[in-house]
Amino acid sequence: MSTLQSLAGRHIVVGLSGGIACFKSAELVRELTREGATVQVVMTEAATQFITPVTMQALSGRPVALSQWDAREPNNMAHINLGRGADAIVVAPASADFIAQLAQGRASELLALLCLARPRTGEHACPLLLAPAMNREMWSHPATQRNTTQVVADGAVLLGPAAGEQACGEVGDGRMLEPEELRDELIACFQPKVLAGRKVLVTAGPTFESIDPVRGITNHSSGKMGFAIARAAQEAGAQVTLVAGPVHLATPRHVQRIDVRSAQQMHDAVLPRAAAHDVFIATAAVADWRPAAEAGQKIKKDGSGQPPWLALTENPDILAAVARLPDRPYCVGFAAESEDVARHAREKLTRKNVPLVVGNLGPATFGRDDNKLLLVDADGERELATADKLTLARELVREIAQRLHRHGAEQP
């Protein structure tokens, strides 16, 4: 979970239709409240057979809405009132029958009524997100496929389903996304799509240069900043490819990941792809040097007390190589320094001939969840104050989007 509350101030309606996946909905409500959202749960009668309204009330802190005839509403119009003021409606699980109701415009219970009555356009438009959950045969049935196509055409957003083991013991498509995945999808829904239609290539993490089959040259980069940037760019609507060195981080949703180990492998993954992208963000901490030759076996001490001679050769400069391409993307470099960040970042800006370099103190940020960035370009410098890395990544993505817009406006 991110260290910031990405849903602070948001009011989310979580709807439950019937299905064993209702047990995941309890954790979804917890995830949304941890992110700062207020949550109103609405349940169908079938959903109450799988999890109790008492449980959902305890987790949301609000009475659960169950019936369109609920007399607690002053005007007896729960289906209208619940949708007004909601920032989004998430139905998880969305059963085959519930999706069929929406596709046909039927509303026999409060939850379907609420979805039909939600504002769909204008300033107070309320997105409808559906997380299907059903047996694999039900999901693949032509009727269900027709219905999902129709609800998407009518403006709903489909989240999943995933493939995997199902409660019935079968394996296949139809499994509801996990609560953390649904949380992240909802957070992404609210992010401005400032990179819609763009392709972004990101490098992240360290590289590892083998000395022998056991040892190598590497650094302390955790990859967290680069992975946060990949996620932020995807949230902003971009199609993102992430080239990652050896790190143990989960791939952001909808991001294509290419794993590499050495600087040469990273170079070989980036160069053929770079020209097909609009933006290249070189976040990776790439080793400048590698052993000229890798020993075939582990190098042993010989008792002399002297270390073995280690000849080094320079690695390819990935950022500079991309910047030299005739159809180069908009290039953003990172300068992880140990001192005098501004000077070294500006030198890198000039040496590599790129429009933007992002500087930071490597020892102060490697492995941490927060960071502080310095943006350096031809016009000057601007600091992004200390914050968690996802917040900084989103701010950097907005900066890049603005610069892309200005860059495009300046083209003849």
Its sign, for the CA torsion 136, 139, 141, 142, is: negative
Q: Which of 22, 115, 126, 168 is catalytic?
A: 168
Catalytic annotation on 115? no
Please give the single-letter amino acid code of residue 24: K
The residues carrying an active-site annotation are: 168
